[in-house]
């Protein structure tokens, strides 16, 4: 096909002196300089869109921690006494008509991982807290008071802003209407630092690699390069357009993938960019995936990332996930809810995770029981205390 197009090239004399160019393809050398890397903005909307919504590694890592945290039951303790029934437990089990207790914990943990901030609003009726609602972090703005501490929160939606003052929700009890949980941020006094923000560059790299793969499939036989005509004379505009149309029709697109390109009449193909092999493409993509997983706190082995089997087996990696990421997050949220809501119910109430109900830690619990049971120098009461149980009830 290209031979018929190139045949007229040999017989068309140049209508201009050699110093002048009459065609876009005559004796051309193009100097191309690489532009600067384009990084996504580091705000909640971008992290939620480019990270949680469009990146499979980040999405699964966040859900793995948040869903695990949502399955951990919370015990209500008052000193050494455990409450089996209590209004606070009922509130957390059914925060509002649309959410269950596990859904509330999952939403709070997801917001902390994606935004670094989580906001929960309490609603009181007749002097008692009746409902809890999770607020989106991108709609909340902290309003600092004269002393620097937040005195209100502005909630904006649909072009309207509602100011929620941090006044006492329940008369006579110090329970503010909004609980703000934030991750540690060394650069801000009020807003937390999101784990996904630390992996922002890795997210961009991983997403760009996926986009490159998609573009390669859609445009498989159109490599980055240039056809250089080294013969005498020049191409007319009509010949240039015909050659361009022939290339697009016969060599561009997934349907023409792998089709050989025949060059005649002084035409030479010169690639203008590195190949995926030159860039060590797959290794860079896996390295970016590992950075995302590690920033969130998930062992890469659990996400199926190759080349990072640093744990002896899958069970060990799963225990590391629970011990290093899930349980610390659950304890932090439970402590925040305890200090926020306990004054509304009186007493020294505190919420603690029930580790005996965590299946992933079953082997550790069994080993603990064996060691404590074999300790003959301990009394039954001391053994119960060592494994986390209180005094035996009559």
What integer is the mean pLDDT of 101-118? 94
Say if residues 229 and 266 touch (Cβ distance below 8 Å): yes
**Both 125 and 22 in a single domain?**
no
Say if residues 298 and 61 touch (Cβ distance below 8 Å): yes
**Both 242 and 229 in a single domain?**
yes
Inform me whether the pLDDT recorded for 313 exceeds 50.
yes
Q: Which long-range contacts (CB under 8 A, 24 or more apart) does 256-263 make?
A: 256/220, 256/221, 257/220, 257/221, 258/220, 258/221, 259/221, 262/2, 262/3, 263/2, 263/227
Domain boundary among 271, 293, 309: 271
**26 or 382: which carries more pLDDT confidence?**
382
pLDDT > 70 fraction of the chain, expressed in percent and rounded: 69
**Both 171 and 181 in a single domain?**
yes
Inform me whether the pLDDT recorded for 306 exceeds 80.
no
Inform me whether the pLDDT recorded for 103 exceeds 80.
yes
| Domain housing 140 | 37-224+273-357
Q: Total domain count for the chain? A: 3
Buried b (16+ CB within 10 A) or exposed e, 158-195: eeeeeebebeebbeeeebbbbbbbbbeeeeeeebbbbb
What integer is the mean pLDDT of 186-193? 90
**Both 29 and 60 in a single domain?**
no
Inform me whether the pLDDT recorded for 391 exceeds 70.
no
Q: With cut-offs at 50, 70 and 90, classify the pLDDT of residue 31.
A: very low
**Both 89 and 195 in a single domain?**
yes
**Both 122 and 177 in a single domain?**
yes
What integer is the mean pLDDT of 117-125? 92
The Cα 30–Cα 67 span in angstroms is 54
The reported pLDDT for the residue numbered 42 is 67
Say if residues 361 and 369 touch (Cβ distance below 8 Å): no
Nearest residue to 69 (alpha-carbon basis) of 365, 328, 388? 328
**Both 201 and 278 in a single domain?**
yes
**Both 229 and 219 in a single domain?**
no
Q: With cut-offs at 50, 70 and 90, classify the pLDDT of residue 73.
A: very high
Domain boundary among 271, 288, 305: 271
Say if residues 114 and 61 touch (Cβ distance below 8 Å): no
Does the CA dihedral 189-194-198-200 come out positive or negative? negative
Inform me whether the pLDDT recorded for 173 exceeds 80.
no
**Both 251 and 376 in a single domain?**
no
- Residue 125's H or E segment, with its range, is strand 117-125
**What average pLDDT does the chain have?**
78
**Both 289 and 258 in a single domain?**
no
The reported pLDDT for the residue numbered 358 is 84
Does the CA dihedral 96-180-334-301 come out positive or negative? positive
Which of 190-204, 249-263, 315-329, 348-362 has the lowest average pLDDT?
A: 249-263
Q: With cut-offs at 50, 70 and 90, classify the pLDDT of residue 105.
A: very high
The reported pLDDT for the residue numbered 225 is 62
Does the CA dihedral 214-217-222-224 come out positive or negative? positive
**Both 210 and 345 in a single domain?**
yes
**Both 239 and 321 in a single domain?**
no
């Amino acid at each position: 096909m290209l031979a018929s197009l190139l045949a007229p090239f040999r017989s068309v004399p140049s209508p201009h002196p050699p110093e002048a160019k009459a065609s876009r393809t005559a004796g051309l050398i193009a100097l191309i300089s690489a532009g600067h890397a384009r990084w996504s903005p580091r705000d909640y909307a971008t992290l939620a869109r480019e990270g949680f919504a469009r990146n499979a590694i980040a999405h699964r890592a966040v859900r793995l921690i948040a869903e695990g945290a949502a399955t951990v039951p919370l015990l209500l303790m008052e000193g050494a006494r455990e409450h089996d029934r209590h209004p606070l437990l009922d509130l957390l089990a059914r925060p509002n008509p649309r959410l269950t207790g596990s859904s509330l914990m999952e939403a709070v943990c997801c917001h902390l991982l994606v935004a670094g901030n989580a906001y929960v609003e309490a609603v009181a009726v007749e002097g008692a807290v009746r409902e809890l609602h999770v607020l989106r972090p991108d709609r909340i703005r902290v309003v600092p008071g004269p002393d620097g501490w937040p005195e209100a929160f502005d909630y904006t939606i649909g072009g309207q802003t509602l100011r929620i003052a941090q006044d006492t929700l329940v008369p006579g009890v110090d329970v503010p209407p909004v609980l703000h949980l934030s991750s540690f941020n060394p650069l801000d006094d009020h807003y937390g630092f999101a784990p996904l923000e630390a992996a922002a560059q890795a997210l961009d790299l991983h997403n760009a690699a996926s986009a490159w793969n998609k573009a390669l499939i859609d445009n498989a036989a159109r490599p980055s390069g240039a056809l250089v005509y080294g013969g005498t004379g020049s191409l007319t505009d009509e010949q240039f357009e015909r050659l361009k149309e022939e290339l697009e029709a016969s060599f561009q697109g997934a349907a023409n993938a792998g089709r050989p390109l025949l060059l005649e009449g002084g035409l030479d193909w010169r690639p203008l960019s590195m190949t995926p092999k030159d860039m060590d493409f797959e290794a860079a993509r896996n390295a970016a995936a590992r950075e995302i997983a590690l920033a969130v706190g998930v062992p890469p082995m659990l996400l199926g990332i190759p080349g990072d089997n640093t744990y002896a087996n899958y069970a060990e990696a799963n225990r590391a996930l629970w011990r290093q990421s899930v349980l610390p997050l659950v304890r932090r949220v439970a402590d925040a809810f305890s200090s926020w809501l306990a004054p509304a119910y009186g007493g020294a109430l505190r919420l603690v995770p029930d580790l005996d109900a965590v299946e992933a830690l079953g082997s550790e619990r069994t080993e603990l029981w064996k060691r404590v049971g074999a300790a003959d120098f301990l009394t039954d009461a001391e053994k119960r205390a060592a494994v986390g149980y209180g005094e035996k009830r009559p």
